[in-house]
Amino acid sequence: MIELFKNFVLTEKSVRLMEKYDQYTFDVDVKLTKPQIKKLSQDMFKVEVLSVNTHRPPRKKRRLGMSQGYKPSRKRVIIKVKKTEKPLTWTAEDD
């Protein structure tokens, strides 16, 4: 389950969303759908998810000498959770 959530995104905007609106930003596997993301995040973080917003940022161009390519595609997710006293934490579960 944890490998489907690639990494936690920490930018100025994501920190502002966390503090003000209880929204958390992650990069996830491209194949995941919104209902799957909602269920996974509820199981992993033990919180009630109110909404899930997704978008796919544009790929970045990379160049090495004469060859040119792109960085791998990714899906970014913003998860809004019910107002809680504690922040989200990773739970270690063996499947």
pLDDT (0 to 100) of residue 60: 92
Q: How far apart are CA 78 and CA 14, in angstroms?
A: 9
Nearest to 50 by CA among 7, 75, 21, 72: 21
Whether the pLDDT of residue 62 is over 60: the answer is: yes
- Taking only the tens place, the pLDDT of each residue in 20-59 is 999 999 999 999 999 999 999 898 888 899 999 999 999 9
Which amino acid, residue 72? Answer: P
pTM, rounded to two decimals: 0.80
pLDDT band at 95 (very low <50, low <70, confident <90, very high): very low
In percent, the amount of the chain with pLDDT more than 70 equals 88
Average pLDDT over every residue of 65-76: 92
- What are the tokens at 24? 């958390």
Q: What domains sit in the chain, N to C, each tagged with a CATH number? A: 2-81 (3.30.70.330)
Average pLDDT over every residue of 72-95: 75
